[in-house]
Amino acid sequence: MRFSRLDCRRRWSDDQGVVSVGEAVEMILKEVSPLPAEEVRLLDACGRVLSEDVRAPRSVPPFPNSAMDGYAVRWKDVADTSVDHPVTLRVVEEVPAGYVPKARVTENSAIKIMTGAPMPRGADTVVRVEYTRSLPGEVRITRVDGPGSHIREAGEDIRKGQTILEKGKLLTPADVGLMASVGKGRVRVYRRPTVALFSTGDELQEVDERPKAGKIVNSNSYTLSAWIRQTGAIPLRFGIVRDKRRSLAAAFRKALRYDAVMTTGGVSVGDYDFVKEALGDAGVQMQFWKVAQKPGHPLAFGRIGKKPVFGLPGNPVSSAVSFLLYARPALLKMMGYRNLFLPVTQARLEHPIKTSAGVTEFIRCRIRRQDGQNFASSTGTQGSGVLRSMSIAQGLIVAHENETHLEEGAEVTVIVLNPQDFLQPEMGF
Ligand code: AMP
Ligand code: MG
């Protein structure tokens, strides 16, 4: 199960520009589509999505070959073999895998053959080595498995020209190997979006600067770059922009040559929150600027041409949650993905939680596994500036708009934040 359009309807406000979580997801995904394709080498193809069907340029196996270590023979010569009536054949050649037999198998002769070696002319059957005894220049056969046994025919797995992978397939390591096996060294996939990332705020400084009075580190830029990268897109960090409408607009204009634009901060109602206006100045058509959710209520979304522009909130948790809910699925869609949402699981609440009516709340939680069940408990204070709670959290409990409290023991939906980290022991190996 995945988090998508959870039952989140608008019911809260007539305030223009406010949308529900479900509406926000829908509006954003409507605006984005897969980027044009590019050709990549096989080793860069894993995790990318095919933009065209892949047909096999060669057959697999490319030639008939032996499926066993043994002897290539004519069935006619060995058909009557049994333990009591062994047959002895002349061995005229030995073919290891990777070499082509020179001789031909003729009456009462055999060629010793290894797994994967091409079948010699004249032979129609392979007798496995376990049923034979080697003698000088000869082989004694005591058992056979039947006519035509242990031969892999050319094209048995894949025929030349056959479609082996379809457009839209998310490429796995096995797919990469499969393409290699048919000699397909390059492949066309949807391009990865470049994301121009700005942090706005006079209070910000960079991580390697000496701490200055009144300043905090621009941590959002790192959180978001890491998420963007984990999503498979390409973050381009444009650093810090001051809270001035003109500097913001100038910075945003430069960013519009990339596939997506992402800003943090400056989208709420403070005296220095100019991002929305500055995006407008830069030509971005704003679609909404508030979502009925917590955290991350102020959240601007617009587009310029086909490019999405995300004005994420400044608070570290709000921007991270908003990224996961909205920007991540959009970037995945741009890369051709069909599964756009984080996985969800069901869990029992370990304690009651009060929630606000009219907004969808995402409560950071730990997930404990016991007797085949998940148990979710809040990470504690849910302040949207407490990034550590996001680091501790394994999931986000979803509390719907119409709920005001969740009871202890209630079954809740939890968005799994780091599926790799959330081990379900009985599924582990
Ligand atoms: P704003 O949305 O601009 O009002 O920012 C809200 C709060 O988020 C600010 O007071 C900062 O504490 C914090 N904040 C804003 N931008 C960043 C950032 N890039 N990195 C870390 N914290 C930030
Ligand atoms: Mg600010």
Per-residue pLDDT at 8 exceeds 70: no
Counting Cβ atoms within 10 Å, is residue 220 exposed (0-12), middle (13-18) or buried (19+)?
A: buried
Which residue among 223, 315, 386 is best mutated to probe the pocket of ligand 1, counting the most ligand atoms within 8 A of its Cβ? Answer: 315
Q: Which CATH homologous superfamily contains domain 3-36+191-334?
A: MoaB/Mog-like domain (3.40.980.10)
Q: What is the pLDDT of residues 186-205, one digit of tens each?
A: 999 999 999 999 999 999 99
Question: Of the bound ligands, which one is closest to the alpha carbon of residue 314?
Answer: 1
CA 332 to ligand 1 center in whole angstroms: 26
Above 80 in pLDDT, residue 45?
yes
Domain residue extents for the chain: 3-36+191-334, 38-60+156-190, 65-152, 344-422
Q: Which of 122-126, 132-136, 317-321, 353-357 has the lowest mean pLDDT?
A: 353-357
| Ligand 1 pocket mutation, candidates 197, 207, 264, 322, criterion most atoms within 8 A of CB | 264
What's the confidence (pLDDT) of residue 63? Answer: 97
Mean pLDDT, residues 1-21: 59
Compute, in angstroms, the gap from residue 200 CA to the centroid of ligand 2: 6
330 alpha carbon – ligand 1 mean position (Å): 23
Report DSSP letters for 271-307, one per residue: TT--HHHHHHHTT-EEEEEEESEES--EEEEEEETTE
Range 255-259 average pLDDT? 93
Tokens describing residue 426: 């009985």
pLDDT digits (tens, 9 = 90+) for 115-127: 999 999 999 999 9
Q: What is the pLDDT of residue 1?
A: 53
More confident residue, 428 or 189: 189
Burial call 278-298: b when 16+ CB within 10 Å, e when fewer: bbbbbebebbbbbbbbbbbbb
pLDDT (0 to 100) of residue 7: 42
219 Cα nearest atom in ligand 1: 20
Ligand 2 centroid from CA 242, angstroms = 9
Q: Which two tokens stand for residue 333?
A: 């869609």
pLDDT of 255 higher than 50: yes
- Strand ranges inside 149-222, DSSP E: 151-152, 163-165, 186-190, 194-200, 204-205, 216-217
Q: Which CATH architecture has domain 344-422?
A: Beta Barrel (2.40)
Measure 314 CA to ligand 2 centroid, in angstroms: 6
Give the pair of three-digit tokens for residue 153.
């025919």
What is the mean predicted confidence (pLDDT) over 335-349?
A: 96
Task: Tell me what pLDDT residue 2 has.
Answer: 59
CB-based neighbours (< 5 A) of ligand 2, an ion: 201, 265-266, 314
* Cβ atoms of 333 and 32 closer than 8 Å: yes
Which CATH number, 3.40.50.10260, 3.40.50.300, 3.20.20.70, 3.90.105.10, labels domain 38-60+156-190?
3.90.105.10
Query: Which ligand is the nearest neighbour of the Cα of 268?
Result: 1
In this prediction, what percent of the chain has a pLDDT beyond 70? Answer: 95
Separation of CA 354 and ligand 2 centre (Å): 29
Distance 385 CA to ligand 1 centre (A): 8
Is the pLDDT confidence value at 75 over 80?
A: yes
Average per-residue pLDDT in the chain?
A: 94
Model confidence at 39, in pLDDT bands (50, 70, 90)? Answer: very high
Q: Is the pLDDT of residue 266 over 60?
A: yes
Q: Ligand 1 site: residues with CB under 6 angstroms?
A: 199, 201, 203-204, 216, 218-221, 264-266, 268, 270, 273, 313-316, 385
Nearest to 399 by CA among 429, 367, 354, 369: 354
Q: Is the pLDDT of residue 425 over 90?
A: no
> Is the confidence at residue 163, as pLDDT, over 90?
yes
Per-residue model confidence (pLDDT) at position 17? 77
Whether the CB-CB separation of 61 and 119 falls below 8 Å is answered with no
- Identify whether the C-beta of residue 320 lies closer than 8 Å to the C-beta of residue 390: yes
| pLDDT surpassing 60 at residue 14 | no
pTM as predicted: 0.92
Q: Check whether 4 has a pLDDT greater than 60.
A: no
Class in CATH terms, 65-152: mainly beta
Residue 423 — very low, low, confident or very high, per pLDDT cuts 50/70/90?
Answer: low
pLDDT of residue 381: 86
- Please list, in sequence order, all residues whose beta carbon lies within 8 angstroms of the beta carbon of residue 1, skipping any fewer than 6 positions away: 343, 344, 345
